[in-house]
Chain A
Amino acid sequence: MANKQVNAVIIGAGAGGGIVAKELATAGLLVVLLERGKWQTYNDHDNDELISQRTSALKCPFGPDNEKYRRVVPDGKGGWRIVLPNDWAYGNNAGCVGGGTLSYGAMAWRFMPEDFAMKTTYGTVEGSTLVDWPLSYDDLEPFYEKAEYEIGVSGDHTLNPFAPPQNKHYPMPPFPYNREGKMLEPAARKLGLHPFPIPMLRNSVFYNGRPPCIHMRTCIGYACPVNAKAGSQNTVIPVALKTGNCQVKSECKVSEIIVDEKGRARGINYFDQQDNPKTQAADLVVVCASATETARLLLNSKSVLFPDGAGNNNGWVGHNLQDHAYCGAVGLFEEEVYDDAGPGACIAVNDFNHHNAEIVGGGLLANEFIRQPYLFSGIRPPGNARWGKEHKDFQREYFKKHISVVGPIQEMPVFENQVAIDPSVRDYWGIPVLRVSGFRHPKDFEGCNFLASKAEQWLKETGAHTTWKVIPGQRAGAGQHQAGTCRMGNDPKTSVTNRYGQLHEIDNLFIADGSLHVTNGGFNPALTIMALSYWVSDFIKKEWKGTRFK
């Protein structure tokens, strides 16, 4: 039986899609929310380091699964090799209802005004497609606030002198520091820095019918046993379902967007839970599948007017792939610093996010989430043996006596860093898969060296007897912070959507996820993806006229 035509079909139930579903359903639109993964809860998995979304040595517990998904990356010898979702090079984002927000670290950063105006602030950067966003911080401010209240953020922006202007306080008080935080705080002050508790999408008190955090060791990479961590699956999606206007279809894999000969989106084709091909007709389509998968879907949606993929007549879909160049330092201490209070990350500074001499942009610095034993086996000072007695002695001596301070350097967008469709490799359903390729811009490494040396300084001031820097590799990543592949802009020649996430060339096709990001800030992007989704939804609701779009 054919599916009933709906007003909107939304692809991807992550940070973006859950919000769009809730906004449109409460506005009275009939909505279908499709998600390739399952509904999952804490009880579906153990607190197992080898099956966590963070280390995923054996598999990714929250998807995508190794049996059915593939990607292709350069093999370093001029050819290509196939990688599985639990391989670092794949660049996966969790595939389940809630997407990454079910198992993320839940930092709740607003980008700063400069992050939306990088070209105005820093000028042209050679070899980079660095431009300003087509919207400003002020445009997005009310939507940040909406995300902070509807999803739920704990923090206190008044403790951060670099925090952008914020109309309302966060709905919940900040978290106290753990032992690391208590050590790092006075040291930062001595260095003239301005430390403060990290704002978190995690309940510090009872809020929205969910209890406060119980400080699990296994927080990031896992679902929360008490639902203190706020994701779309336990906030906006239940609200959407309650309206009666929204249907969530999990384990449905969308293969293409149907675009008719007049250049309008008519709906989508997908494979249902039993892998049968199905069609869902809709008045409008909103793609929220993450920067990699959204681009893949557009590129795989070929039609008469769009032979190279939906909205890709200018050839910009999939380009400008960005992530974050994570860098920082590790410090070793005489005394124990580990107190088993999860998730670990609790203190940050924004002193280095902008206006640093000689680098473009910058990034926040924060103490790292708890390192578990297997992850820690890979943390060694340069020159230390990776195995043997030296390995074991180090592991035993320093597991509880080290602190790691890290930060995401805002990457310079590079046109050649991209996801494209591989000509031959297909996934389980026969859908062509992505090739991920590119190299980080040289400026990124200037930023990394700068920020890592600041991290090292902070650790030394805290009392570390040994410190070393950690700098990422050359290859462009597409990690959980992936962004930029369908950038928004005012010029249809050099962007994919307008400032409302609406495709320049297909007016009933929208995007609401990290692919819109023109630049990716020096911050974890979840809250910005959420704010943008409210912004895009707001535009759709205003443009929605009765029973038809426009």
Chain B
Amino acid sequence: MKAYTRRDFVRISAACTGSLLLVPGCRSKRGRWFFFTDEEALQMGAIVECLIPTDDFPGAKEADVINFMDKQLVGYYRRHQNTYRVGLTRFNESCMQRYGKNFNELDEEKKNIFLKLLEENKLDGESWKEFSSAEFFNLVLDHTMQGFYGSPRHGGNKDYISYRMLQLDYPLIIGRNKY
């Protein structure tokens, strides 16, 4: 039997710990998301980026709003899973039907026009039979605002992006700083 030296032990421990640290990078078997598939996340990213676009300040995508949604959809918002899953399918169908392309491949103008139609229930076709497109849109819009303006602890508002945009100081007085 091989006798392990102290140095070997340290090396093996380090190797184990090292690989353990890599595990959270791959959260589920499906990809890097708890709820979304990679394709869903791609489309959702394109949607939220239109809802709060990047200008001289980062928009919803960079603020990690998708991460907020993904995290909440397996937590507090478990009850909205169906609306997201079915809604995104209908969303893709409608977009394909109208433009022959996926939403993320459209130019900015077309994206905004399409979202406006979605918001106002003006998409034709049979697609939206479970619930109206406006219902889906309103839910996504509300969650986008929560993800962008809510506390970073819920997965969005990365690095307090929106608070910095609004120049809402992080209070430094003890007892006032648990934001």
Q: Which residues of A contact B (CB under 8 A)?
A: 46-50, 57-59, 66, 84, 214, 216-218, 225-226, 340, 372-374, 376-378, 386-389, 391-392, 395-396, 399-400
Contact = CB atoms under 8 A, between A and B. Distances in A.
Given A392-B55, A399-B166, 10 more contacts: A48-B179, A49-B150, A50-B146, A214-B175, A225-B176, A377-B145, A387-B52, A387-B141, A388-B53, A399-B168
Contacts of A214: 173, 175-176
16 contacts: A46-B179, A47-B176, A48-B150, A49-B151, A58-B72, A58-B77, A58-B146, A216-B175, A218-B179, A340-B169, A373-B162, A373-B163, A376-B149, A388-B112, A392-B53, A400-B166
At the interface, is chain A mostly helix, strand, loop or mixed? loop
A373 B168 CA distance: 9
Nearest to A45: B178
B51 A46 contact: no
B163 A400 contact: no
A103 to B, nearest CB: 15
Contacts of A58: 72, 76-77, 146, 154
A440 B151 CA distance: 36
4 pairs of A and B residues whose beta carbons are closest in the complex:
A373-B149, A50-B150, A374-B149, A387-B51
Contacts of B163: 373
Q: Indicate the size class of the contact surface on chain B.
A: 35 or more
B149 A49 contact: yes
A386 B112 CA distance: 13
A57 B146 contact: yes
A386 B171 CA distance: 29
A46 B166 contact: no
Contacts of B55: 389, 392
B50 interface: yes
B50 to A, nearest CB: 7
Interface string B60-72: 0000000000001
Nearest to B150: A50
Contacts of B77: 58
A359 to B, nearest CB: 33
Interface in B106-162: 112, 115, 141-142, 144-146, 149-151, 153-154, 162
Nearest to A338: B168
B19 interface: no
A48 B175 contact: no
A386 B137 CA distance: 11
Contact of B150 (A57, A66, A225, A389): A57
Contacts of B146: 50, 57-58, 374
Nearest to B145: A377
Nearest to B154: A50
B1 interface: no
A58 to B, nearest CB: 4
B27 to A, nearest CB: 20
A57 to B, nearest CB: 5
Given A57-B150, A373-B162, A396-B166, A46 B52 contact: no
A471 to B, nearest CB: 20
Contacts of B52: 387-388, 391-392
Nearest to A389: B53
Interface in B8-50: 50
Contacts of A57: 142, 146, 150
A386 B175 contact: no
Contact of B179 (A47, A84, A225, A392): A47
A316 B103 CA distance: 56
> Most A CB atoms within 10 A — which of B150, B153, B169?
B150
B176 to A, nearest CB: 6
B3 interface: no
A386 B138 CA distance: 10
B51 A388 contact: yes
A378 B141 CA distance: 11
B167 interface: yes
Contacts of B150: 48-50, 57, 374
B165 A396 contact: yes
A389 B112 CA distance: 11
Contacts of B169: 340
A225 B90 CA distance: 47
Given A226-B175, A392-B55, A48 B151 contact: yes
Contact of B141 (A66, A84, A373, A386): A386
A376 B163 CA distance: 13
Contacts of A392: 52-53, 55, 57, 59
A456 to B, nearest CB: 25
Contacts of A372: 149
A174 B154 CA distance: 38
Interface in B75-116: 76-77, 79, 112, 115
B166 A59 contact: no
Nearest to A222: B178
A333 B50 CA distance: 28
A226 B51 CA distance: 39
A152 to B, nearest CB: 20
A49 B162 CA distance: 13
A537 B76 CA distance: 41
B50 A46 contact: no
A520 B128 CA distance: 44
Contacts of A374: 145-146, 149-150
A225 B179 CA distance: 13
A178 to B, nearest CB: 15
> Most A CB atoms within 10 A — which of B50, B72, B153, B166?
B166
Contacts of A387: 50-52, 115, 141, 144
B2 to A, nearest CB: 51
B153 to A, nearest CB: 7
A399 B53 CA distance: 18
Contacts of A376: 149
Contacts of B175: 214, 216, 225-226
> Most B CB atoms within 10 A — which of A47, A59, A226, A387?
A387
A217 B153 contact: no
Contacts of B145: 374, 377-378
